[in-house]
Amino acid sequence: MRVIYLCLVVIFSFPLLATAKGIETAKQVEQNLWVMGMPTNADIERFAEQGGDIVVSLLSVSEQSQTAESTWVTHHGMAFYHIAIPGAEGLTFAKVRLLDKVLLEHKEKNVLVHCASGNRVGALFALRAAWLDGKDKEVALKIGRERGLTSLEKTVSEMIAQ
């Protein structure tokens, strides 16, 4: 019986992401900043219990409508922001500025930024590093990769070079 119990703990301790590969659990990348792919209700609850204050979703409008995430976040006493990034076409200066504004307004708070896999998170952070923080392309891309940038890297690299 003890072995079965331990197996169940392992199985249910991690979110199950059947389709999206990426950052499956919250990854701390700065003092007050965590990034990840699509969180479950348990992930949101864990983040709140560990002092989380803000959750920023970069899911598209369609993706966001398929989850109760905003309810989970507010139920746990945190603030919820939705900056819709439907894919490469959503990577705009305006969206980068909007994320930057949220992060600057809450720089003393614990913030979790996510999308479905972490790819859009990494893309926005790479563009933020280049466009707003003046980092060179390679440094910006490294920041993006650390935050989940994968298949959007070529697009982001081209956007930074323009």
pLDDT in tens, 48-93: 999 999 999 999 999 999 999 999 999 999 999 999 999 999 999 9
**Residue predicted with more confidence, 21 or 104:** 104
What is the identity of the amino acid at 22?
G
User: For position 23, what pLDDT does the model report?
Assistant: 75
Residue 15: which residues within 8 A CB-CB, separation 6 or more?
24, 25, 38, 39, 40, 42, 43
* Separation CA 24–CA 4 (nearest Å): 24
| pLDDT tens per residue, range 118-131 | 999 999 999 999 99
* Separation CA 158–CA 151 (nearest Å): 13
pLDDT confidence tier of residue 37, bands split at 50, 70 and 90 = very high
Q: Report whether pLDDT(6) > 90.
A: no
